[in-house]
């Protein structure tokens, strides 16, 4: 693999639901160890993009390559074992399992681990994401913020090479946000690519080196966070919504 080879590459990916276009010939590249933000109005196709990368949704056209190899025919579980992890905008834990058990399941889903290795990974992620005190609570009894935190933790527990975060920061206080940005930075330092969809733009700009703006499944702008957020077309697609930049 050369230095320029992307960890994840989308080539001309298109997807429509009836008359709605969620991806319009999208070509994107993500490198190991880089943190990228994705912004765009509701319905832009951000979650659908993650679904096509993780294998939950099949593109109509184009290719998704991980480590130079097409993953289009691989199911989500296989892609997860290869190192592709996504979180869901609406958290999806196993409600009746404890937080720790949820992390164990995720750790085993991410790769072939011995019992001890699984426990070690789950315990480390518990600590890293500030969930230690909730370790033995059923996931179904967590409040929204802790559920968001668990969603992030479940992604991390699969020990991904690329982590796709779908709006994990909504509703966080400033200190919680700072802690989240810190976690993302630690993960990045382990050469993981982090792709983060978020409406809380001021948090994103602290955490990412590049921002991609999507609208109607199209790439509107891509590059330096401040430049992208100052781009007139980007402002236009938000229709005067204060994006907090
Ligand atoms: N499975 C589906 N069937 C039909 N329409 C869908 C489906 N998934 C998403 N959509 C529609 O596609 C559009 C883009 O959705 P989404 O990718 O969730 O956008 P975003 O995450 O940027 O808000 C929305 O209008 C949504 O209603
Ligand atoms: Mg979404």
185-195, pLDDT tens digit by residue?
999 999 999 99
The answer to whether residue 4 scores a pLDDT higher than 90 is no
Polymer length of the chain: 245
For residues 17 and 78, state if they share a domain.
yes
| Ligand 2 midpoint to CA 87 (Å) | 11
The CATH number of the domain holding residue 30 is 3.40.50.300
For residues 170 and 242, state if they share a domain.
yes
Beta-strand runs (E) in the chain: 8-17, 20-30, 35-39, 61-66, 69-70, 84-86, 162-166, 193-197, 210-215, 218-223
pLDDT tens-digit profile of 108-156? 999 989 999 999 999 999 999 999 999 999 999 998 888 989 999 999 9
Residue nearest to atom 25 of ligand 1 (CA): 43
Cβ neighbourhood burial of 16 (10 Å; 0-12, 13-18, 19+) = middle
Q: Is residue 176 part of a domain?
A: yes
Residue ranges making up the domain that contains 126: 93-159
With contact defined as beta carbons under 8 Å apart, do 143 and 133 qualify? no
Residue among 48, 168, 214 to mutate when testing ligand 1 (max atoms within 8 A of CB): 48
**At 170, is the pLDDT very low, low, confident or very high (cuts 50, 70, 90)?**
confident
pTM of the model: 0.94
Residue 40 in contact with ligand 1 by CB distance below 6 A: yes
Q: What is the mean pLDDT of residues 23-47?
A: 96
Q: Is residue 50 part of a domain?
A: yes
Cα–Cα distance, 194 to 33 (Å, whole number): 7
Cα–Cα distance, 22 to 144 (Å, whole number): 28
Atom number of ligand 1 nearest to Cα 44: 22
Residue 48 in contact with ligand 1 by CB distance below 6 A: yes
Cα distances from 229 to residues 9, 46, 125, 182, 185, in angstroms, run: 24, 17, 33, 22, 21
Q: Of 159, 178, 205, which one is at a domain's C-terminal end?
A: 159
Q: Is residue 113 part of a domain?
A: yes
Contacts of 41 (CB under 8 A, 6+ apart): 215, 237, 238, 239, 241
Split into its structural domains, the chain has a count of 2
Residue nearest to atom 13 of ligand 1 (CA): 43
pLDDT tens-digit profile of 211-237? 999 999 999 999 999 999 999 999 988
| Ligand 1 midpoint to CA 30 (Å) | 23
Cα distances from 182 to residues 22, 177, 178, 198, in angstroms, run: 31, 9, 6, 16
Cα–Cα distance, 100 to 126 (Å, whole number): 7
Q: What pLDDT does 1 receive?
A: 47
| Ligand 2 midpoint to CA 112 (Å) | 31
User: Which residues are paired to 86 by β-bridges?
Assistant: 164
| Ligand 2 midpoint to CA 52 (Å) | 13
Residue 43 in contact with ligand 1 by CB distance below 6 A: yes
Q: What pLDDT does 241 receive?
A: 58
């Amino acid at each position: 693999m050369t230095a320029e080879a992307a960890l994840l590459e989308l080539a001309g990916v298109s997807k429509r639901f009836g008359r709605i276009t969620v991806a319009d010939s999208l070509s994107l590249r993500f490198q190991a160890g880089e943190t990228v933000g994705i912004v765009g109005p509701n319905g832009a196709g951000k979650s659908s993009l993650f679904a096509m990368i993780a294998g939950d949704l099949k593109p109509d056209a184009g290719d998704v390559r991980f480590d130079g190899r097409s993953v289009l025919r691989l199911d989500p579980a296989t892609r997860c074992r290869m190192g592709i992890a996504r979180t869901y905008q609406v958290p999806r834990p196993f409600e009746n399992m404890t937080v720790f058990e949820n992390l164990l399941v995720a750790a085993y889903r991410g790769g072939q681990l011995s019992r001890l290795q699984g426990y070690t990974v789950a315990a480390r992620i518990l600590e890293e994401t500030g969930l230690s005190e909730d370790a033995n609570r059923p996931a179904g009894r967590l409040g929204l913020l802790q559920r968001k935190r668990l969603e992030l933790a479940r992604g991390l527990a699969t020990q991904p090479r690329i982590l796709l975060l779908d709006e994990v920061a909504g509703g966080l206080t400033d200190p919680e946000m700072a802690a989240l940005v810190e976690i993302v930075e630690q993960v990045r330092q382990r050469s993981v690519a982090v792709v983060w969809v978020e409406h809380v733009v001021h948090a994103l700009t602290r955490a990412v080196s590049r921002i991609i703006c999507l609208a109607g499944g199209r790439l509107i702008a891509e590059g330096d966070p401040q430049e992208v957020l100052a781009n007139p077309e980007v402002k236009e697609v938000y229709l005067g919504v204060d994006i907090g930049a």
